[in-house]
Amino acid sequence: MRKARISSKALALSREAKFLKNRVLTIELLEIFTGEREGTAKEKSKLKAITKKLQNKIYIEAVYLIAHKFVDDVAEARKIFDAIIRHRNGLVKILKRNVSVQVAALDYLQDVCNIIRQPTIIEADELEKFVYHAVFDDTTQAFEKDIMDVELEAEIEKSRRFGSIFSLFFIDLDNLKKLNDTFGHESGTEAIKSVSQFAKKNLRKYDSIFRYGGDEFVVLLPGVGIDAAHETANRIRNMISRHRPGKAKMQISVSIGVTAFDNSKISDRKSLLEAADTALYEAKQKGKNRVCTYRYKTSKDSRLSNSNPKPRNMKGVNPRKKKHQRRGVEI
């Protein structure tokens, strides 16, 4: 089976996304960890807790923060980190003044071992903002769609190799045009933000939410079967339906379409997204503000109007494509 092509840029951004999502070490604590400054008792206590939690993986985060370079192997990260610290100590003796770990890292990685070439100097805060905007949607703080493509392919590959399960669902804000026409586009944007916020509150650390279209999101649930995914989706739907966002205190709702990868009928990224999209369409057709599940196997599940609904994209055309474009204008 031919694997879907993912650009090297998307792969790199996916790695950035995972790091930003799970990172615990900060620049301030890194200064203490590298011995650049003493640190307060509170900072030392926090660093001790992080070191205990991460153990040797702290060197992966430290190397990333120092040089903005991913080193997945713990032993290799420790080796690079120790070499940078030794190099810095040597520079301090030669220059007889303090040398920051970043300067030592640049000198070591570029001139000593040629690991990096043509580096660009940029403030750490500015770099983090740049990476953040490349990885996360500015409005909703959900991951960008490019990240979703990489994460889906990774989960599909894992499922094929090890038989692991995962589920996915579409969330679509109901009646966005009516919200925009009644309360204004700013209120519509607030409603979209609320969808992302309440979804995140009901997700685990390992789950991810991606902005797929104007008012549409995709949620990825690794290690979760279709029934548990339905329960999660329904919690999100229920919470959103009780919320009244914005100054206008709008009543909003979402429709959700759930499916799961089965490595048979739903066996690649395209069929997976089409299955969830079909379930979402069914939820809309049934009156909105509900969760529908798409399965290929016959089921007596009362949540389904048809145990094997026909996909809407049989001719390769997505009827909601133009709708996405229109939403982009509205937001």
pLDDT for 32-77, tens place per residue? 999 888 999 999 999 999 999 999 999 988 988 887 777 888 999 8
Q: Pick 107 or 5 by higher pLDDT.
A: 107
Q: Pick 260 or 20 by higher pLDDT.
A: 260
Q: Is the Cβ–Cβ distance between 149 and 17 less than 8 Å?
A: no
Q: How many whole angstroms separate alpha carbon 83 and alpha carbon 133? A: 32
Tell me the per-residue pLDDT of 112-149, one tens digit each, with 9 for 90 and over. Answer: 776 666 666 555 565 566 566 667 888 998 988 888 98
Residues 6+ apart with CB under 8 A from 210: 142, 143, 144, 145, 147, 148, 151, 217, 218, 219, 220
- Is the pLDDT score of 223 beyond 80? yes
What is residue 303's predicted lDDT score, i.e. its pLDDT? 38
- Is the pLDDT score of 110 beyond 80? no
Q: Is the Cβ–Cβ distance between 137 and 117 less than 8 Å?
A: no
What is residue 319's predicted lDDT score, i.e. its pLDDT? 42
What is residue 138's predicted lDDT score, i.e. its pLDDT? 86
Q: How many whole angstroms separate alpha carbon 199 and alpha carbon 233? A: 8
What is residue 267's predicted lDDT score, i.e. its pLDDT? 83
What is residue 215's predicted lDDT score, i.e. its pLDDT? 93
Tell me the per-residue pLDDT of 257-313, one tens digit each, with 9 for 90 and over. Answer: 999 998 778 888 999 999 999 999 999 999 999 999 998 654 444 334 333 334 444
Q: Domain 145-330: what homologous superfamily?
A: Reverse transcriptase/Diguanylate cyclase domain (3.30.70.270)
Q: In the chain, pLDDT over 90 holds for what percent of residues?
A: 40
What is residue 2's predicted lDDT score, i.e. its pLDDT? 46
- Is the pLDDT score of 247 beyond 80? no
Long-range contacts of 60-65 (CB under 8 A, 24+ apart): 61/19, 61/23, 61/24, 61/25, 62/25, 62/30, 62/33, 62/34, 64/19, 64/23, 65/25, 65/26, 65/27, 65/30, 65/124
Tokens of 238: 């229920």
- Is the pLDDT score of 248 beyond 70? no
| Of 162-171, 245-254, 270-279, the least confident | 245-254
Domain range annotation of the chain: 8-135, 145-330
Q: In the chain, pLDDT over 70 holds for what percent of residues?
A: 76
What is residue 95's predicted lDDT score, i.e. its pLDDT? 87
